[in-house]
Structure 1
Amino acid sequence: MTARYCSLAQQPAPAYPPGLAAERLGALACGRRMWVNGTVLHYCFFDGDSDASVITVPGTGRTRRVSWVGGEEQRDVVRACFREWQDLGIGIAFTEVGDRSEAELRIGFQAGDGSWSAVGKDALRIGLTERTMNFGWELAASGDRCTVLHEIGHALGMLHEHQSPFAGIHWDDEAVYAELAGPPNHWSRDRTYFNVLRKLESDEANGTVWDPQSIMEYPFPSGLVLEPEQYRGGLHPPGTLSAADKEFVLRWYPPTGPGGLLELVPFRSVPLGLGPGEQADLVIEPPETRDYTVGVFGEGDAVVVVFEEREGEPRFLAGRDDGGTPYNARLAARLVKGRRYVVRVRLYSSWGSGETAVMCW
């Protein structure tokens, strides 16, 4: 029987200013989907009668509601998989909340809608009443942890491993289209191309070496892969987190140490001294309640995010990515005296002197 596959929705390609150097484009292509390290990702499960999709019943023209609500056993599988990722010691934390307005990740269980997830920060573009992740088949009865681990991998910013340009896979394209057009997936040619046959750019891939053991690798039956020859009989990943999966998330989200944060005082710039891919973490304790601007200066592409600490936990307040424009990342936020805010700056790329600084004013 053909495996049931994760089906990512096609997103518009990001628009970057023309004329950017290749190294800047590469850094932006990879980094734009990743969270800043130290983020607490809040997740919730849809649980109300109104949490449903309206679909058209084939052949009838009638519509009916299909619930997004999953049973407690289903939810427990998802909770356990969040813990498995977090137990790697990554600098990202997962916390379940009941209020969807506080959740970056909103999880549904609509049967027949496939399993999928927004990739990394793309979740922030999705409305609060909509799902950022769905599981379209029973998880608890089948013990299907690999699907859940896979979708959480997407939520952390990982992409499909079989689409890596370093895999060297030569497909029998028409055999792939035919396989995925049948049950249980029933995919269109466009969906199959986007999720299987399309090659990622080298800067988008999870690593510079193909990992056929990755949790982000699909299993494939025989007759679809022509090359490499050893996979003509099928590709069968174990469905667990591989060593390369762990290395990837620990590289992007290293453990956050107990050391103190740099202090960001209004009207005083703080030099960052960052290299590409590195991050600085600072704290603001505003002397008065008012609207503030937080900005990065220098010859670099960066993302800046401000969190407000609530009961010792950082909650996303505002973020800005300069997107490779000639202008540095800058955001405005209302900060309240007596509260504590954490500013996280991650550098994508730099040029010239490479010197960057951050200021609050």
Structure 2
Amino acid sequence: MTARFCSLAQQPAPAFAPGLAAERLGALLGGRRMWVNGTVLHYCFFDRDSDGSVIPDPETGRTRHVSWVGGKKQRDVVRECFQEWQNLGIGLSFVEVSDRSEAELRIGFQLGDGSWSTVGKDALRVGLNERTMNFGWDLTEPGERGTALHEIGHALGMLHEHQSPFAGIHWDEEAVYADLAGPPNFWSRDRTFFNILRKLDPREVNGSVWDPQSIMEYPFSAGLILEPEQFRAGLNPPGALSEADKEFVRRWYPPAAARGPAELVPFRSVPLRLGRAGQADFVVEPPETRAYTVGTFGDGDAVVVVFEERDGEPRYLSAQDDGGTPHNAAVRVRLVKGRRYVVRVRQYSSWGSGQTAVMCW
């Protein structure tokens, strides 16, 4: 029997400035969806009767409202899975909030709409009253807890493992299209290609080796995979976090250093000295209330994110990613005297002298 599969929405390919060196482009592809380390990801569940989608009813020809609200048992499964990821000791943390305007991740339970999530920072592009994650079937059924772990993996920036070019999978493509066109998925050929047959760029996959045990791997029934030969009879990952999954997120989101962030004083630049995927954290305590610019200088691609501390917890304010352009990243944001802010700078790559710095002015 065909499993129910996660279905990611098709996104346009990223556009970078032409002529970028291969190493620089690879760093941008690999890091563009990843959060800066130390981010607190706030999540909420849709909980109002009015929260939902309006869809056509084939029986009456009219439209009807379908709720995004899930029951307590469904929500508890998702909460437990957030906790399982966090228990790995990673540098990200997850906090449930009731106010959707405070949540980077907004979770619905629309049955029949499939299970899916935005990938990493793509969640920030979604409107406050829209879902960044959906569960389309009962997570309390046997074997379905892995669905919640899988979608949270996407929210952390992970992609589908079977689409890794390192997998060496040779598909019976027409058999795959036919299998996914039927129940329970009813996918179009375009959706099947995007989520299964399409190969990812080697520079953006979860690791340099295919992990068939990954939580990001789909199960496949017999006859869909022709090569490797051992999977002709089917591929059945356990639906749990593999050792490679754990290693990947720990590498991208290592535990916070014992030493706290350095102070970033207005009009005083600080050298960064960061390698690829390196990060530096700073505290800003503005001497006056006004609009400030926080930006980088030098021969490097970076993302700059500004958080405001509220009750000792960093809340996302604004960010700028130079995205491989000739310009450095710079955030213009209003800072209030008496409040404390955290600036996180994560570097994708450097070139030339490799000398970079950050400043607030």
Q: TM-score range by the shorter chain?
A: over 0.9
Q: Secondary structure at the match of 1:203?
A: helix
Measured after TM superposition, the shift of residue 353 of structure 1 is: 1.1
Q: Deviation digits for residues 282-340 of structure 1, max 9, x if unmatched? A: 11011111110000001010000000000000000110000100000001011111111
Q: Which residue of 2 aligns with 1:229?
A: 229
Q: Which residue of 2 aligns with 1:104?
A: 104
Q: After superposition, where does 1:184-263 map in structure 2 within 5 Å? A: 184-263=184-263
Q: Deviation digits for residues 94-116 of structure 1, max 9, x if unmatched? A: 00000000000000000000000
Q: Secondary structure at the match of 1:33?
A: coil
Q: Which residue of 1 aligns with 2:73?
A: 73
Gaps of at least 5 residues in structure 1 are none
Q: 2:110–2:135: 8 Å Cα contact kept in structure 1?
A: yes
Corresponding letter in the other structure for 2:31: G
Measured after TM superposition, the shift of residue 275 of structure 1 is: 0.2
Two-structure CA RMSD over aligned residues (Å): 0.8
Once residues 322 and 252 of structure 2 are traced to their aligned partners in structure 1, the CA distance between those partners, rounded to angstroms, is 19
Q: Deviation digits for residues 150-181 of structure 1, max 9, x if unmatched? A: 00000000000000000000000000000000
Measured after TM superposition, the shift of residue 40 of structure 1 is: 0.2
Measured after TM superposition, the shift of residue 145 of structure 1 is: 1.1
Tell me the matched-pair count: 361
Q: Which residue of 1 aligns with 2:115?
A: 115
Once residues 123 and 277 of structure 2 are traced to their aligned partners in structure 1, the CA distance between those partners, rounded to angstroms, is 21
Corresponding letter in the other structure for 1:31: G
Once residues 159 and 129 of structure 1 are traced to their aligned partners in structure 2, the CA distance between those partners, rounded to angstroms, is 25
Q: 2:297–2:356: 8 Å Cα contact kept in structure 1?
A: yes
Q: Deviation digits for residues 162-214 of structure 1, max 9, x if unmatched? A: 00000000000000000000000000000000000000000111000000000
Q: Is residue 160 from structure 1 mapped to residue 160 from structure 2 by the alignment?
A: yes
Q: 2:303–2:329: 8 Å Cα contact kept in structure 1?
A: yes
Measured after TM superposition, the shift of residue 15 of structure 1 is: 1.2
Corresponding letter in the other structure for 2:151: E
Once residues 345 and 134 of structure 1 are traced to their aligned partners in structure 2, the CA distance between those partners, rounded to angstroms, is 31
Q: Secondary structure at the match of 1:76?
A: helix
Q: Which residue of 1 aligns with 2:335?
A: 335
Measured after TM superposition, the shift of residue 58 of structure 1 is: 2.5
Identical amino acids, percent of aligned pairs: 79
Measured after TM superposition, the shift of residue 62 of structure 1 is: 1.4
Once residues 226 and 339 of structure 1 are traced to their aligned partners in structure 2, the CA distance between those partners, rounded to angstroms, is 60
Measured after TM superposition, the shift of residue 60 of structure 1 is: 4.0
Corresponding letter in the other structure for 2:262: L
Gaps of at least 5 residues in structure 2 are none
Q: Which residue of 2 aligns with 1:22?
A: 22
Q: Which residue of 2 aligns with 1:318?
A: 318
Once residues 142 and 47 of structure 1 are traced to their aligned partners in structure 2, the CA distance between those partners, rounded to angstroms, is 25
Q: Which residue of 2 aligns with 1:139?
A: 139
Measured after TM superposition, the shift of residue 2 of structure 1 is: 0.8
Q: Secondary structure at the match of 1:287?
A: coil
